[in-house]
Amino acid sequence: MAGAALAGAAQLWALLDEMAESDPQAYRRFLRQQRAEAERFCAAPEPHLCLRARPADVVGGALFINICGWKRVPAPKAPSGPTPVRVGRLEEVSGEGDLYRVIDLAYNPAVLQRAENPAEREHLIHLTLKLIEEQCSFVLSHSYTVEPFRLKGSLDMMQQRLGGRQRSAPQLSQNTEQGLTLEQLLHAVEAEDCSNSPVLLKEESVTQSRKQLIEEISSPEVREKPNVPVHEIITVRDAEEKPLQIQLTIHLPEVGSVSECDLSISKDDLIIEVPEKYKLQLDLPELVDEERATAVFKTGTGVLFVTLPVTRTGP
C-alpha cells in the first residue's frame, strides 16, 4: 500500500512537471483550480437562520434547525435543477432543565442569497422542513418561528455535526507503465467532489411551475448515539441571592479514567464527551469564568465534579 501510494505521488509530480513544460496554460489553470478547491474545502460554515419547530408525533422538546451557508456544498447546476444540501446528525441536548433537539443544514451561500427574497425564503424553509421530516421520520407541526439568533449552540458543534469527507488525492491509474494523460488527470481532480451519488427529494406540495428538488449530498456515516449521562446542576448563591458558582455532578459509571473524558467549557455552555459512551451539552444558567473552572474525577465511583465560578448574572 505504501509503495503504491509513493509510486502514485511520483507519477503525479512527473505529470505536473511535464504539464508545466508542455502546456503552461493548462498548468496554470490546474493550479488555479486547486487553489480555489482548497479555499472552498477549508471554509467554515456561516450561520444564516435558526428555526424553532416541534415534532407533532414525537414526545419531547422543541426542534431547533440551524440553516447555514457553506462553500463546501456545491451550488445548483441550473436555476430549476436540484439544490444540493448537507444534513447534519440530529442531536438531543439538555439545557436549562429542558430537553431539545438540534439539526443543521448547509446550503451553498448562493442559494441563501437568492432566498433573501421573502417568497424564495418561505419556499426554501418549506423544502427544508419537508427534508427534515423525511430524514428524521417524524411529522413537524404546521407552525414554526424564526429565532432572533442565527445559531443554536456553538459553531464548533455545528461543524462537527455536519462533518465532512476528507479530501484525498486523485485516484491515479495503478498501471504506472501506461500512466495518465493530462486530460485524465484533470478529469480525476474535477470528479473528486462528485464521487458520491446524491439522493433526490421531491417537493410534493409545490405547483408544477415551481417544482424544485433538493439534492442531499453525502453526510457522515451514522454511528450509535452516545448516552446522556445522569447529572445534577446546582447554583450556589450568597446571602443576597447573587450567584457565586455553579456546581455540576456528572455520573459516568462506564468510565475508568479521566483520560477518557473530553471536557470543553465556554462562558455559557459546557460539553463533556466520552467517545462511543457518553455525551452531555449544557447551556449554563449563568456566565462563568472558564479560566478558573476546576474538575475532579473520582475513579472509584465514576463521578465527575465540575466547579464553575460565576462572572456576573446572566444576560
Smallest CA-to-CA distance from 121 within 72, 51, 170, 58 is with 51
Question: pLDDT value at position 117?
Answer: 86
Confidence of residue 135 (pLDDT cuts 50, 70, 90): confident
What's the whole-model pTM score? 0.49
The whole-angstrom separation of Cα 279 and Cα 264 is: 11
Average the pLDDT over 164-175 and give the result. 42
Smallest CA-to-CA distance from 213 within 136, 282, 130 is with 130
Average the pLDDT over 3-19 and give the result. 64
The whole-angstrom separation of Cα 96 and Cα 195 is: 43
- The chain-wide mean pLDDT, for the chain, equals 76
Q: What are phi and psi of 277, to 5 degrees?
A: -125, -60
Statement: residue 286 has pLDDT above 80: yes
Statement: residue 210 has pLDDT above 60: no
How confident is the model over 185-208, as pLDDT tens digits? Answer: 555 544 444 433 333 434 443 334
Strands 213-216, 278-283: pairing is unpaired
How confident is the model over 55-66, as pLDDT tens digits? Answer: 876 566 789 999
Rounded to a whole number of angstroms, the CA Rg of the chain reads 24
Confidence of residue 3 (pLDDT cuts 50, 70, 90): low
Least confident window among 18-22, 147-151, 267-271: 18-22
Average the pLDDT over 226-236 and give the result. 90
Q: What is the DSSP string of 20-47?
A: HHH-HHHHHHHHHHHHHHHHHHHPPPEE
Question: pLDDT value at position 252?
Answer: 92
Question: pLDDT value at position 234?
Answer: 92
C-alpha dihedral sign at 109, 111, 117, 122: negative
Question: pLDDT value at position 188?
Answer: 52
Question: pLDDT value at position 37?
Answer: 64
Question: pLDDT value at position 58?
Answer: 57
Confidence of residue 51 (pLDDT cuts 50, 70, 90): very high
Asked if residues 149 and 158 have their Cβ atoms less than 8 Å apart, the reply is no
Average the pLDDT over 85-101 and give the result. 81
13 Cβ contact partners less than 8 Å away, ≥ 6 residues apart: none
Question: pLDDT value at position 208?
Answer: 40
The whole-angstrom separation of Cα 25 and Cα 216 is: 35
Question: pLDDT value at position 57?
Answer: 62
Statement: residue 102 has pLDDT above 70: yes
Question: pLDDT value at position 161?
Answer: 87
The CATH code belonging to domain 231-312 is 2.60.40.790
Question: pLDDT value at position 138?
Answer: 80
Statement: residue 113 has pLDDT above 80: yes
Question: pLDDT value at position 49?
Answer: 92
Q: What are phi and psi of 127, to 5 degrees?
A: -65, -40
Angle at 9 between CA 6 and CA 11, to 5 degrees: 110
In this predicted model, which residue has the larger pLDDT, 169 or 75? 75
For the chain, which residues make up each domain, given as ranges? 1-222, 231-312
Instruction: Check residue 142 and report its DSSP letter.
Output: S
